[in-house]
Structures are given as structure tokens and as C-alpha cells.
Amino acid sequence: MSETLISIEPTREKQTKLVELASQSIPAATLPFSRSISFQKIPTKSPPPLQASSTQLQPMEELPPKLQEIIKLFQSVEEPKAKYEQLMFYGKNLNPLDTQFKTRENKVEGCVSQVWVRAYLDQDKNVFYQADSDSVLTKGLAALLVNGLSGRPVQEVLRISPDFAVLLGLQQSLTPSRNNGFLNMLKLMQRKALELLIEAEKGDGSSGNGQIANDNSEKPVENSTSDSKVDEDSGVGFSSSKNGEDSSSGLGSRGTRIKKKLEKELSPIELEVEDVSYQHAGHAGVRGSDGETHFNVRIVSKEFEGKSLVKRHRLIYGLLDEELQTGLHALSIVAKTPSEVEAK
Amino acid sequence: MMEGVVVKLPSFPFLYPTVSPSSPNCRLGFRRFSAPLSAAVKEGSVSLGHSTRPDFPILHQKVNGSNLVYLDNAATSQKPTAVLKALQDYYETYNSNVHRGIHYLSAKATDEYELARKKVAAFINASDSTEIVFTRNATEAINLVAYSWGLSNLRPGNEIILSIAEHHSAIVPWQIVAKITGAILRFVSLDENEVPDVEELRGMISERTKLVVVHHVSNVLGSVLPIEDIVIWAHAVGAKVLVDACQSVPHMVVDVQGLDADFLVASSHKMCGPTGVGFLFGKSNLLLDMPPFLGGGEMISDVFLDHSTYAEPPSRFEAGTPAIGEAIGLGAAIDYLSGIGMQKIHDYEMELANYLYEKLCSVPNIRIYGPKPSDNIHRAALCSFNVENIHPTDLATFLDQQHGVAIRSGHHCAQPLHRHLGVNASARASLHFYNTREDVDEFIRSLDDTVSFFNSFK
């Protein structure tokens, strides 16, 4: 099946959409694909021992681009107080929500403060949001979601798992009850998007799957500095099996090239390149390639001083552009400066 | 620190305050008044807060990088090591099921459990320990009265009087039972001092009234109601009074005989005892006439296939295995509190209450709910408040994250009250005898910082 497809991501997105829609009990007739497909989700590290707080995160590439930007921004802000300021800044710049939309149907349940969210589609069936809240921190959270999700296709919005909140680093800054409000905000936004889509599709009678094709096809996987794991959808054939220990035994040709390039250009004091392609062996995206598709890179270099997280990652992608064009599927990057490493 | 047996003192009479209705929200210069100070609060000696703090291990920790300042005692209190030890002791040395056992452990567990019941009875000056029913908490105790006494005594058209400031647990069970029985709920509003209007309540009591449900101390307003008077008015028409004493029993002397209350409820976890246990006080003659609430083991006398006979109170209302260890823990908490002396605790908390109120007044644009303290009006050591243009949840979050100060934000299980006050939520700081003036200082300092932070953003 995969041989007939042009690029890797659309398959996965279609599969994900299938699972998502299926889990929301939509009659099969409206589903764009009726065959059942199983696929593996990709863990980026070996699973930690089971803790109450461990969550498996969905890959960043599946999140809407603006949301990824927001996440990176929050990750680069370390101090909690500054995170609040950032959050409030978002809230401040949120477009006001007209009073007529502050209805019961638009109110987010389970919020200690009052939050309203309004959703509408444009003619391409991208969903747009507006929101408001009487609490500035909650308004900030709402703004974060509004900015991150607006203008995106419904399917993409539906795919979002709320675990990305961990990546923001706000989870510690926000109490569970507020986090629940965040969760409920996202759920409401997803529910509204779906409802609008169903309405729209009823209206024009198409099966509405045109938007899937171009999303995030070239976005490489980015790893935050915190432990992250990939979300496991229910009903999909994937076992959270042990992924084995780090085995850097013998990098293949690509792995060696990556290592050499990074050594040459960044003069790192520490560099680890790990081929984890085997973890993705069952993944539809790599079927048909010759391995060497997924790598973990840990690099400590002075070159990163003064550069934000985003810039560091962009630098590395830039250096490895040729590899990315020729079959390197994803990089999981930890990029630090020497002083950051010493500060531990 | 043995102060001897708890002294019976009159409850605070509610007289019309000397404050005029048009006073500003917060008089900054109000005369500092205090009840006569007991020995331990005199100048120069260690305050009760400082002397008891070492007994509470949980208070000595850092949260989010700052020292914990725990000001959410109205939600739940902390437990002294004596209570923790009693629990551990129970489970380590004599845990066993109560009442029916023959063997040594069971006999000991039963003895201690029943001793805890006696302690509760003595603590609130009930005439007999059979008037104390152990429940899961005060909420369950109110439900017990509602379903047992309420369903068998209420007829269509009967009236139940409550205040709009009641806790949800004191309102909802009666809504349910009223619906079933056809009884009517009537609510007393607040007067100009932001306390339940006692005169309005008096006026509402009529021959149709069967029950008055009131709090002793309000968990939002900090006000104290004149229970003795209310009981007199209610009894004059043959109505019963259910007192929600959750916020009074932990903080002051409560004497059910002095109040002449028919029913009184409280929760262990608010009075330095463990969670999972609370109690209902009910006058013997009332309990004897009440049908069971929950059915099962322990509350029966004989069980046949087609019917059963029931035990005498209090067992009649204690179905199944009780929270044995927890009840014993409550007994230990009562021992600890009695060791300090409830009057001493009350006096200290009055000082702290005034200090808190006074300092809070200094925060710009603050609105504190409830009455202003005066010669005649005493507030409990809690303040619910709002700061203009800042959501209370934002305040509470920032206080916690940046300063380790724990307060509560929300409706505090009093939505009707908040609706009346015209707000969705409020912040609340509530103290207990192990809090200190320094706790209040730290709270105010942190609150000022928080308010500045949010104001600078506008």
C-alpha cells in the first residue's frame, strides 16, 4: 500500500484522522477511507518506569505550525514569572469576543474562572477561534490556543493531544484545576470544530478530505529537553514495548555523515549521534527505505551561545539539509552550550 | 500546656452594631479591640501559633521554592503529630473490627472507638455519648438528618428556613428532600452588614416552620450567628434547629446544651482530625424516633428474610464497618485541642482575625466580604475578598507559584451567596491557631507583590 503513495506524512495523517474520527463515532460512510490500517507511533526514547505523571507525547510535527512556534517560545522562556508575563501578553492581544457569543454553549466547563470560546469555519473549512475570560491567566491560555489553532484544517485540530501543555512548561506553573480548564478548553475547541465540519459537509455533500495532503510534510521532529514520549492512540496496533537501550554500535553511512558534518561545522565538545531507526521499522513511512531514517542527536557546542532554541535547531537542520532531502526522516535534537551543561 | 477542662462560655450575642450602614467598605482606622487575652497571648510570651507550630510537621516545607504559608484552614486543617501517632498506633497495634468481636484486639479497638465517641460528646457538652453518631463527614451527617428525620417528619407545605449563605452541603440535601415531601425552602438574605438578617429570620419563623438550618460561623463571611436566640424562636413554634458547626467547633467553645440545638454537625478534618470521619449530634428523643438512613450490618438488631429490626441510636445510624482508626484519630485531635483549651484557641484566633482584617484593608482596591469587626461583631479568622480588576484565581495562582502562600479561590461551596454578592468567585484566606502574625505579614507582603504584578500588566 505504501509503495503507491508519494510522501510519507499524508498516510500517517490519514490514518490518524481515521482513528480520531472513528473514536468520535462518526458513521463509517462519511469516513474517507474504509479499510482499517494499523501503524506504529514512534517513541523517541526508551520508556521510563511507570509514574503517575508520565504521559506520552504526540510528535511536534503533528501540531499546527503556529502552535509549535508558541511551544518553542515558551520553552525558551525559563523563569516561571516570565512565562506568566508571556501568557498574559498573549491574552492581552487577544481579539475581543463579542458579548453575543458569551453563551452557555460557548462556555468552557470545569473552569474556575469564566471562559468562552467561539468557533467558525472559512470557505476552505479551516477553523477559526475567538475567546475571552475574566481571569488574565486563563485568558492567556485561551489566547495561546486561539493563536495556535486558528486557521488550520479541522482534522489537524482534532488530532491535537493536550499533552503538549507539558512542553510549554506551564504545567508546573498552573494548578491542576486550571490545567483541567485548559484541557476542557481544547476539548471544546475540538468538539466545535468537528461539529462545524459535519455541518459543512452535510451542506455540500462532499467527503471533505482535501485538506490533508500538505500538512507538515517536511517538518522534522523536534525534541524538547524534557523527557517526551509519543502518544498511543487507543485501538491502534501498537504495543508500548521496551525499545531497548541506547545502542550506538556502528553508525551506518548516513549516521557517520551526520556526525562528521556536525563535528566539522560546530566543533562540539560533546556529540552523540544515535540511530534509532529500528524503533520505526514498522512505521509505514520508512517502509521501502533502507533504514537510517531516525536519529537522536545530543550536541554541546559553543556555537549555540546567544542563540535561542529555535535558532539552534534551525542551524542543525540547515547543516543536515542534504540528508533531510535524501531520506533522513526525523531528528530528535538536544542542543546545549557548554555553560548550560556545567550549570547542572 | 494542660489548661484543664473546656469552660462553658456564652455564644456571642448578635446585637446591632454601632457601625452606621453608610460606612465605607473598610474603615482603616477602626479601633483595635480584643477579647481579654489569656495568659499565653500576653506580651513577651510565645504566641500560641509559635508554640504549636512544631507539632505540625506538614507546615515545615517549601513549595515552589518558598516556605509554605498555609492559609486554607477553612477547607481543611492540618494534623498534629499526636493525631498521626494515634492513627499509626491503631493500625500497628490493635486494628480490628469493632462491636462484635470476642478477641483481645477487637475488644481494644471497640473500647478506643467508643472512647472517641465519649470524647466528642464531652467536647461539645452533649449529655450522653449515645447522642453522637459517627458519619463520614458533616455533609453525610446533614444528609442523614434530611433523609431520616426529614422524610419522616416533613409534610407538604411545611417550611424549612435557611440562609443564602449556607454551604451547599446544608442546602442541597434539603432541596432533594423538599422535592420528595412537598416541603418548601425559604431563604434569609443578608443585612446591611453582610451577615444573615437575623430579624428577617425571626420574622420568617411561623407555625409552618418545621426546621431551621443555619451555620454557626460562615465559611465565607466570617460572621457568627446567635444560635441560642434562633433556637429559642424556633422552639417557640415547635420547629427544630440544625446547626452547621463545621467552622465553629474547631475554633471556639461549642456547647450543644447551652445552645439547646436539636442537631449539630461537624467534620473531623476541619478540627485537626483525619479525613473520613465526622459526626452528628442529635438529641436523644429525636434520634430514638428516627428511622435508619443507611441499612446494613451493625445497625440491625435481628435480621430475617422478610424484615429486620434495628438497633438503638447511635448504632442505628452507623451501618457497616466505621472509620475506626479515623474516629480514634478524631479522639486524639480532641485531646490535643482540649490540652490547649478551646477558649485559649478562640482568643488567639480573635487577635489574629483582627490583625488579618486590618492588614488586608491596607491593600488598595480590596473588597472584603462579611461584617466589619467592632465591639459587638466578632469575625472568625478568615477573610474572603476580591481585588478590583484581578480575578481571584489569578491571585491564588500567583501567590502559590511565586510565594508558596496557599489560599483558596472559587465560590467556597456557597454559590447562592456569591450570586447575591454579585461575583463569580472570591479569594479566601483562613487561619487556625497554628498560624502566626508572621504568616499574615508574609501573606500581605505576597499579596501586595501579586497585585502589583497584575496591575502592571493592565
Interval B146-157: pLDDT, tens: 999 999 999 999
pLDDT at A169: 76
CB contact under 8 A, A135 and B454: no
Candidates A89, A135, A141, A174: best to mutate against B (most CBs of B within 10 A) is A135
Find chain A residues with C-beta within 8 A of B454's C-beta: 136
Kindly state whether B455 is in contact with chain A, defined as any CB-CB distance less than 8 angstroms: no
pLDDT at B36 over 80: no
Mean pLDDT, residues A243-270 taken together: 75
Facing B409 at nearest CB: one of A112, A134, A174: A112
pLDDT at B448 over 50: yes
pLDDT at A3: 40
pLDDT at A298 over 70: yes
Q: How far apart are CA A82 and CA B428, in angstroms?
A: 26
What is the tens place of the pLDDT at every residue in B10-31? 444 444 344 344 444 454 444 4
* Residue A312: its H or E element: helix A309-319
CB contact under 8 A, B400 and A175: yes
- A109 vs chain B: nearest CA distance in angstroms? 14
pLDDT at A166: 78
Residue A102 Cα distances to A119, A130, A180, B315, angstroms = 12, 11, 20, 52
Mean pLDDT, residues B219-231 taken together: 97
pLDDT at A13 over 60: no
pLDDT at B30: 41
In chain B, whose CA is at the least distance from the CA of A113? B393
pLDDT at A184: 85
Find chain B residues with C-beta within 8 A of A84's C-beta: 398, 401, 453
In chain B, whose CA is at the least distance from the CA of A133? B391
pLDDT at B9 over 60: no
Phi, psi of B174, rounded to the nearest 5 degrees: -75, -30
Alpha helices in B145-183 (DSSP H): 151-153, 168-181
Residues 168-187, chain A: which have Cβ within 8 Å of B? Answer: 172-175, 178
C-alpha gyration radius of chain B: 22
In this prediction the pTM is 0.70
Mean pLDDT, residues A221-228 taken together: 39
Kindly state whether B188 is in contact with chain A, defined as any CB-CB distance less than 8 angstroms: no
What is the tens place of the pLDDT at every residue in B278-334? 999 999 999 999 999 999 999 999 999 999 999 999 999 999 999 999 999 999 999
Mean pLDDT, residues A302-312 taken together: 84
Give percent above pLDDT 70 in chain B. Answer: 90
Q: What is the largest CA-CA distance in chain B?
A: 73
Given a contact cutoff of 8 angstroms between Cβ atoms, the answer to whether B240 and B210 are in contact is yes
pLDDT at B206 over 80: yes
**A260 vs B276, more confident:** B276
pLDDT at B214 over 80: yes
pLDDT at A163: 77
What is the tens place of the pLDDT at every residue in A317-341? 888 888 888 878 778 788 888 888 8
CB contact under 8 A, B457 and A178: no
pLDDT at A36: 52
- B397 vs chain A: nearest CA distance in angstroms? 7
pLDDT at A136 over 80: yes
pLDDT at B186: 98
pLDDT at B43 over 80: no
Of B166, B412, B140, the residue nearest B276 (C-alpha):
B140
Averaged pLDDT score across all residues of chain B: 91
Averaged pLDDT score across all residues of chain A: 72
For the residues of B102-141, what is the DSSP string, one character each?
Answer: -SHHHHHHHHHHHHHHHHHHHHTT-S-GGGEEEESSHHHH
pLDDT at A218 over 90: no
**B48 vs B12, more confident:** B48
pLDDT at B171: 98
**A38 vs B395, more confident:** B395
pLDDT at A242: 38
Mean pLDDT, residues B355-379 taken together: 94
B263-267 and B240-244 strand pairing: parallel
What is the tens place of the pLDDT at every residue in A258-285? 888 899 888 898 898 888 777 665 554 4
CB contact under 8 A, B390 and A136: yes
Find chain B residues with C-beta within 8 A of A90's C-beta: none
Residue B413: active-site member: yes
What is the tens place of the pLDDT at every residue in B114-123? 999 999 999 9
Kindly state whether A107 is in contact with chain B, defined as any CB-CB distance less than 8 angstroms: no
pLDDT at B306: 95
Given a contact cutoff of 8 angstroms between Cβ atoms, the answer to whether A259 and A226 are in contact is no
What is the tens place of the pLDDT at every residue in A23-80? 444 444 444 544 555 555 565 555 555 444 445 667 888 889 999 999 888 888 888 8
pLDDT at B449: 96
For the residues of B379-411, what is the DSSP string, one character each?
Answer: --SEEEEEETTB-HHHHHHHHHHHH-EE-EEE-
pLDDT at B347 over 90: yes
CB contact under 8 A, B393 and A136: no
Angle between helices B324-340 and B81-89 in degrees, nearest 10: 150
- A179 vs chain B: nearest CA distance in angstroms? 12
pLDDT at A175: 55
**B157 vs A219, more confident:** B157
pLDDT at B379: 94
CB contact under 8 A, A112 and B425: yes
Return the minimum-mean-pLDDT range out of A98-102, A252-256, B184-188, B356-360.
Answer: A252-256
Local structure of residue B38 (DSSP, 8 states): P
Residues 29-88, chain B: which have Cβ within 8 Å of A? Answer: 64
**A289 vs A278, more confident:** A278
pLDDT at A305 over 80: yes
pLDDT-derived band at A297 (thresholds 50, 70, 90) equals: confident
pLDDT at A287: 52
pLDDT-derived band at A203 (thresholds 50, 70, 90) equals: confident
pLDDT at B38 over 50: no
pLDDT at A18 over 50: no
